[in-house]
Structures are given as structure tokens and as C-alpha cells.
Amino acid sequence: MTHLIAPSLLSADFANLERDITMINHSKADWFHLDIMDGTFVPNISFGFPIIKAVKKYAQKPLDVHLMIVDPDRYFEQFKSAGADIISVHYEAVTHLNRSVQKIKSMGMKAGVVLNPHTNIILLEDIISDLDLVLLMSVNPGYGGQQFIENTYSKIDKLKNLIIQKDSKAVIEIDGGVDISNAKALVNTGAEVLVAGSAIFKSENPIKTIEILKDI
Ligand code: DX5
Ligand code: ZN
């Protein structure tokens, strides 16, 4: 498959959200990436259900919801009814990961697991066959606009090998510091979904930037 582009709304203009959603609808982007932060798992707080519902009202593409919150299982129902199509939980924020993943899938959503930059791929060995997606953080989660961590390439490589070895259907998504300078190398290494926030929304022509990221 050709790789997918998931613009992160964290860098959108929340006073003009409908405009930015419409722009993504009309662009070559594939998913909407929504970053949910609770001020505990990560130092920052982002947004919650009213914003997700507002996005869902206009979005014509799937909502890819990245939960940076402790004990996320408490809220799966609410994320589902707000419009989430894919839910990814952090390995570091969940105690019973198998249960969380099964719960997301039983509710009819796709399930992903996110790894922080320091978390080793091998920890996914006993869950990878159950996953629809693995999201590798290429910055420390919490903020947009941070610098890409180069060690991500070697993690993609290890993850790809694990996926092949376990005959998993999981797709590899990369989040943090992705831009037009590293997108091609990421895809060549094995990335299948690229999240980009500031590279898209802080660019002069977001539609064009999405097209460049998609057509590399
Ligand atoms: C960071 C978030 C990212 C963020 C990426 O914790 O998970 O999705 O929006 O922003 P950029 O692309 O600016 O690094
Ligand atoms: Zn994210």
C-alpha cells in the first residue's frame, strides 16, 4: 500500500477549526490525527470530547485518536460515541494492555499501541498479532513542533521485522517531527502512516505540503 498522511489537529487553528477540517477533507490526507492529553501522563493538556464531536461533524475521513492519558479504558465508550475510528493507547499508560486492546476492538474500532521513544519494540512481542496499528513516537509526547529523534529509524526496522516474524497485520505509524525532509526516508524504512502537525499547519500552503508528503 502507499503510505497514509494523518495531519495532527494539535497544530490547527482552533478558532477556525471548521476551515482547517474542510482543508483536510479537500486535501490528499487520509486520516485526522487527534492528540488527547491529560496533564498527568504528559505535561500538557490538549482537548476532549466536545472538540472531537465538533471535528466528527465535518470530517470526511477517519478519526485516529492518540490517547496520552492514564488509565484510558475509562473513556473508550465516550471516545467511540464522540466519533473515534481508531484508538491508540500508550504502552506506558496501561497495565492490562491485552484487555484494553480487546475492548477497543470489541467496540468496533481499530486498536493501536503507542511506544515512547525509550520503550523497546520487543515489549510488543506478545501483543503484536492482536494489533491493527503500532504508533512509534519520534519525539517525547506532549507538544507539537519538537525535533525528530533519529533513533526512530532503527525502531521502525525492528518493528517491521517483528511484524513479519509474527505475521501481524499491524501498520506502522510515526508521530513527531515529521516533515518533508524526513518523510521519504521514513517511508523507505517502513513507515506506513505519517503524522504531521506543525509541518502542515505552520506551512504557507498546507494543502500543498500534504500533497508533497503524500507523493514523495
Ligand atoms: C505529540 C503529538 C503529535 C504532535 C506532532 O505528543 O502526539 O501528534 O501533534 O506534532 P509535530 O508534527 O509538530 O511534531
Ligand atoms: Zn499524536
The answer to whether 35 is a known catalytic residue is yes
C-alpha cell at 211: 500533497
Which residue of 34, 175, 198, 202 sits with most ligand 1 atoms within 8 Å of its CB, as the best mutation to test the pocket? Answer: 175
- Nearest CA to 61 out of 112, 98, 21 is that of 21
CA distance 110 to 113: 10
Domain range holding 140? 4-215
Classified as helix, coil or strand, 117 is coil
Residue 143 Cα to ligand 1 middle (Å): 6
Which residue of 45, 86, 195 sits with most ligand 1 atoms within 8 Å of its CB, as the best mutation to test the pocket? Answer: 195
Q: Which of 30, 35, 130, 132 is catalytic?
A: 35
CA-202 nearest atom, ligand 1: 13
% of the chain beyond a pLDDT of 90: 100
CA distance 69 to 119: 17
Pocket of ligand 1 (CB under 6 A): 8, 10-11, 33, 35, 66, 139, 141-142, 144-146, 175-178, 195-199
Average pLDDT taken over every residue of the chain: 98
Protein residue with least CA distance to atom 10, ligand 1: 144
pLDDT digits 0-9 by tens, 52-109: 999 999 999 999 999 999 999 999 999 999 999 999 999 999 999 999 999 999 999 9
Classified as helix, coil or strand, 48 is coil
The answer to whether 20 is a known catalytic residue is no
- Of the listed ligands, the closest to the CA of 11 is 1
CA distance 42 to 6: 21
What's the pLDDT at 1?
A: 72
Q: Give the domain CATH number at 19.
A: 3.20.20.70
Q: Give the residues across from 24 on adjacent strands.
A: none
C-alpha cell at 64: 485516529
pLDDT digits 0-9 by tens, 160-198: 999 999 999 999 999 999 999 999 999 999 999 999 999
pLDDT digits 0-9 by tens, 118-176: 999 999 999 999 999 999 999 999 999 999 999 999 999 999 999 999 999 999 999 99
Number of domains composing the chain: 1
